[in-house]
Amino acid sequence: MLKRKWNKLTSRDVFKVNDHYTKPPSKIFAWTLITVAVTMAIFGFIFINANWVEFFSSFNQLGETIKKMLSWNFKNYATPNSFGDTFFAKAFTSLKTTIIMSFAGTILGVAMAIPVAMLSSNNIIHNRTVNNIFKTLLAVLRTLPAFTFALILIGYFGQTTLSVTIAVAIFTFAITGKLFLERIEHVNFKIYAAIQATGASKPRAFRTAVVPQISHNILSITFYSLETNVRYIAIVGGMSSVGLGELIQNNINLQNWDKAGFLLFLLILVVLILELLIYVIKKFILKDRDFILDKSEQDEILNKVKRQLAKNNLNFYISNTIKVNFNFKKKSLREKFKLWSKQREAVKSFKQEHKQKLKLDKDSFLAIKKQELDYKKWFVYNQTISQDVRLDKIYLTNFNVEVEEMKSRMYLATKQEMQSQHEKFLQSLTVEKVYKKAPLKWIKRAIFYSLIFALFVYSVSLIDYNLETEDVIASTNKNLASIFKISWASIFSKTDIAPYSVVYLLFETLSIAIVGTFLGAILAFILGLLSSETIVNVYVAKIFVTITSMFRAIPTYIYAIIFVSLVGLGPFNGAIALAMGTTGMLTKYNRELFEDVNFKIVTQLQATGLNAWERFRYGIMPQTTSGLVSYVIYRFDINFKEVVSLGIVGAGTMGYLLNTYFGDHYFAEFGALLFGIMIFTLFVETVSTTIRNKINLGVNPKFMDNLILFIKNKNWIVYKANAEIIAYPVKLNYDESRALYAYTNQQLFILVKKLQKTERLSYKTAYVRGYCAYFKLDLMTYAELKTWEKNKILKYKIQRKDYLSSLKQKYQQELQSLQQNLHKKLSETSDKTEVKSLKNEFKKTKKNSTRILKYMKSNLSL
C-alpha cells in the first residue's frame, strides 16, 4: 500500500491516449541540481557573513575612490624625482616588462604543452601508464595557483623577470595542456591511421593528419592564454617585485590612488588592444588557413546575409522593402540629405500603419471577447503555419510569416548565387591559378609565424637571467623538501601557527566561489538579454555590449582592490569582485546563446496569444537553459581556482595565508594548504565536468548508470506484476509499464477515497475493498492481499534473476571459448606480428561481448 501511495503522490502527470499510457520524463536531475545550487548559495552567503547594508551604504566612498583613481596629474607624472626618474618612464617600462614576461611565458608554456598533450592522448600513445602519468602531471599543476610557482622560483632565480616568466610558463603549460588534450581526443584519427598504414612514422603521421585539424585550436588557445596571462600577471609580478604588479601594489600601499588608477587604466587598455589585435589576426591572417580557392569569398557573401537575417522581423522588413527604394549612390550631399529625410518619413509612416493594424486587431478581439464566452471561437485556423491563431494576432502572424518567407528566399537566393559563382570558378580553374593563389597564403602565414618567433626571441633576450648563490639554492631545496612534510594537524584543526584549519579555509574558498558565481550568473543573465539584438532594440543592445565589454576587460583582482573601500578586506570583498568578473565573461556567452535562438518557435507562440513573458518562458528558455547552466558550472570551476589568487590582495584568507606561511618559513603549513587546494580542486573539477557532460551530452558517470539500472530492475519487476494483475493484453516497454503503474495507482486511490467518504470506512479497509474492486478480485483481508501481491512480484523477481544468470553464464562460456581458441592459435605460431594481431583481435572480441552483455542487462525484457 505504501509503495503504491508514494507512487501516486510522485506521479501526477500521467496521460491515457487511445489505450496507451505515457508519463513525462523524470526531472529528478534538474530539481536536484536546483536544490543543491540554492542550498549551497544560502550556505555561502551565511558563511562569508555578507554585509549588504554596509555595501550599499558605502557607495559614496566608492565614488570618491574612483574619482581619486581618475584624477591624473600628467604634469606631476612627467616630473623627475630625486633619482632622475619620472612616473611615466617607470609605468611604461613596467608595462613593457609585463608584456614581455607574458608573451615569453605563454609561448614557452604552449611549446611544452603540445608534446605532453600528445603523450597524454590514448589515440596517439597506446600506453595507459604513460597516458596516466602525463595526465596526472597536468592535473596536479593545474590545481596550484600561479603565484605559488613564483614564490618557489624566487629561491632559485631571485626577484627577477626570469622567475615570473617561468611561473607563467608552468601555469600556461598546465592549462593549455588540458585544452590541447581535449582537442586531440576529438580529432578524426582515421586519417592518422591511414597515413601510418602507408609506412609513415608516428611524428610524420601526426604532423600530416592531426596538426591541420588542431592548428586553429592551438592558435586560439595560445591567444586565450596570452590574454589571460596579461590580465593576471600583475599578481605574480607583485609577488616577485617586478613588472606592473609591483608598481600597482606599491602605489596602493602608499594610497596614491591617482597613480594606481592610471596604471590600471594602462593594463585595461593593453587588454582591449590585445583583444582587438587577436580579432584582426584571426579574421585576416588565420581565417583562411585551411581554406582553398574561393571559400573565403563565399563565406564573406554568406556572412553579409546572415547579418541581415539576424535582424528582428520589423527591422528586416523596413530594410529590405522600404529603405532599398532609396538609392544614395552618386548623389550630392544635399540630395542625400533630402533622400534621407524622405526615407525617414517613409519608415515613420510604415511604423504608424503597422501599429494601427495591430491596434485594430486588438480592439476587434476585445469586442468579440466580451460577447463570446467560448474561448474556442477566439481563434481562427491559419493554413500557412498549420495552427490556430488568436484573433488579435492575425495581422501580426501574417506579417511574421511574410517576413520569414522573405528571409528564406533571401537565404536560398544567396546559396544559389554562391553555388553558381563556385561552379563558374571551377570551370575557369587551372593548375596555374591554383599555384598562383596558394603561395600568397603560405607567405602570409610564414610571415606571421616568423614575426611570432622574432618577438619571442626578442622577449627572451630582455629577460634577466640570474641564478642565486649555492647557499641560497641549497636553502631553497631544503625549504622545498619541507613543504612535503605536511602538517596534518592543521588540515582539520587550527594550531599555534595556523589560525584556521585547511578544511575551514577550503569551505571559505568554496563559499566565495559559490556566492560570486551565483550573483554573477544572475547579473549576466539580465545583461545577456539586454545586450542581445534579437531580444531588445539594436541600439540598446549595442550600449550594453559596450558596457559588458568594459566589465570583461577589467581583471577580477582589480575589482577586489576597488571594493576594499566598500566592504574592506575579507571574503565578502572576494565574492563581490568575483561576481563582477563572472558577469563580464558570462554575459558574452549568454548573448551568443540568445542570438542563436530559433525565433520561428517564438512567432508561433505569439500567434496563439501568449504574452511576452510566456513567449520567453516557453519559446526562448527551453532553447537556452542547458547552455546557460553549462556555462555557469564551467565558470564556477574557474572561479574556485581564482579565489586563491584574490587572497593576495586581501579578498580571501587562503591566498593571504599561503603567502604568509611561505614568507615566514612555515613550510609544513604551506604544504598542508597546497595539499588541500590540490585535492579539493580536483574534486570540484571532476564534479563540474560530470554535471556538464550530463547537461550537454546526457552522459552519466558509470556508478550512476549502474545505480539507475539497479533501480530500474527492481521497479520493472513491480511494473510487470501490476500489468499482469490488471490483465493488460499488450507487451509494454519500461516507460509504458511505468506510466501504466502510475495511472493504475491514481485510479485506485480515487476509488479508495470515494469508498472512504461514502461508506465511512477506515483507510486500510477502504484500500482493501477498493483494490479488490478495481482489479476484480475476490474480497480478502489486508494480510492476504499483501501476501498475494508479494507472490506476484516474487514470480517476476525469480524470472528476472534466472534471466540475468543465464546471460552471465552465456557470457562466461563465450569468454572461455575465446580464450581456448586464442591459446590454441598462439601455440601454432611464433611470429610476433601475428601474435600481437591475435591478442588485439581477442581484446576487441572480448570488449564487444562485454558490451553486448551490458546491453542485454539494460534491456528490460524477460
The full DSSP string for 334-384 is: HHHHHHHHHHHHHHHHHHHHHHHHHHHHHHHHHHHHHH---GGGGEEEETT
Rounded mean pLDDT of 218-233? Answer: 82
Rounded mean pLDDT of 186-195? Answer: 77
Contacts of 595 (CB under 8 A, 6+ apart): 310, 532, 533, 534
In CATH, the number for domain 87-289+449-462 is 1.10.3720.10
Annotate 29-41 with DSSP letters as a single string.
HHHHHHHHHHHHH
Residue 501 and residue 492 in contact, taking contact as beta carbons nearer than 8 Å: yes
Q: Could you report the per-residue pLDDT of 765-775, keeping only the tens digit for each?
A: 888 888 888 77
Q: Could you report the per-residue pLDDT of 320-331, keeping only the tens digit for each?
A: 888 888 877 777
More confident residue, 510 or 819: 510
- DSSP class of residue 545? H
Q: How many CB atoms lie within 10 A of CB 461?
A: 10
Residue 169 and residue 157 in contact, taking contact as beta carbons nearer than 8 Å: no
Residue 286's pLDDT band, with cuts at 50, 70 and 90, is: low
Least confident of 89-103, 276-290, 540-554: 276-290
Residue 135, all three cell numbers: 595526465
Q: Could you report the per-residue pLDDT of 118-163, keeping only the tens digit for each?
A: 888 887 787 888 888 998 898 888 888 888 888 888 888 888 888 8
String of b and e for 339-364 (b: at least 16 CB within 10 Å)?
eeeebeeeeeeeeeebeeeeeebeee
Residue 792 and residue 806 in contact, taking contact as beta carbons nearer than 8 Å: no
String of b and e for 781-810 (b: at least 16 CB within 10 Å)?
eeeebeeebeebbeebbeebeeeeeebeee
The pLDDT value recorded for residue 106 is: 92
Cα 709 to Cα 705, 742, 853, distances in angstroms: 6, 19, 13
The CATH number of 483-699, from 2.60.40.3710, 1.10.3720.10, 3.40.50.9100, 1.20.1260.10, is 1.10.3720.10
Residue 675's pLDDT band, with cuts at 50, 70 and 90, is: very high
The pLDDT value recorded for residue 696 is: 77
Rounded mean pLDDT of 367-385? Answer: 81
CA 339 – CA 326 distance, rounded (Å) = 7
The pLDDT value recorded for residue 859 is: 66
Residue 571 and residue 512 in contact, taking contact as beta carbons nearer than 8 Å: yes
Statement: residue 83 has pLDDT above 70: yes
The letter for the amino acid at 325 is N
Q: Could you report the per-residue pLDDT of 57-69, keeping only the tens digit for each?
A: 777 777 787 888 8
Sign of CA dihedral 126, 129, 132, 134: negative
Rounded mean pLDDT of 842-852? Answer: 75
Q: pLDDT exceeding 90 applies to what percent of the chain?
A: 8
CA 320 – CA 136 distance, rounded (Å) = 57
Q: Which of 154-163, 270-279, 792-801 has the highest mean pLDDT?
A: 154-163
Residue 20's pLDDT band, with cuts at 50, 70 and 90, is: low
CA 422 – CA 428 distance, rounded (Å) = 10
Burial class for 536, CB neighbours closer than 10 Å (0-12, 13-18, 19+): middle
Residue 704, all three cell numbers: 550512476
Statement: residue 10 has pLDDT above 70: no
Residue 569, all three cell numbers: 578586506
The pLDDT value recorded for residue 104 is: 92
Statement: residue 343 has pLDDT above 50: yes
The pLDDT value recorded for residue 289 is: 45
CA 163 – CA 123 distance, rounded (Å) = 35
Q: Which of 290-294, 687-691, 710-714 has the highest mean pLDDT?
A: 687-691
Least confident of 273-287, 334-348, 673-687: 273-287
pLDDT, averaged across the chain: 82
* 3 state DSSP class of 329: coil
Residue 91 and residue 245 in contact, taking contact as beta carbons nearer than 8 Å: no
Rounded mean pLDDT of 263-280? Answer: 83
The domain ranges of the chain are 2-27+703-858, 87-289+449-462, 298-327+338-363+378-428, 483-699
Residue 288, all three cell numbers: 583562411
Residue 173's pLDDT band, with cuts at 50, 70 and 90, is: very high
Least confident of 21-25, 353-357, 552-556: 21-25
CA 834 – CA 257 distance, rounded (Å) = 75
Rounded mean pLDDT of 37-49? Answer: 88
Asked whether this chain's domains 87-289+449-462 and 483-699 adopt the same fold, the reply is yes
The pLDDT value recorded for residue 111 is: 92
More confident residue, 171 or 240: 171
Hey, which bits of 103-201 come out as E strands? none
Q: Could you report the per-residue pLDDT of 444-465, keeping only the tens digit for each?
A: 777 888 888 999 999 999 888 8
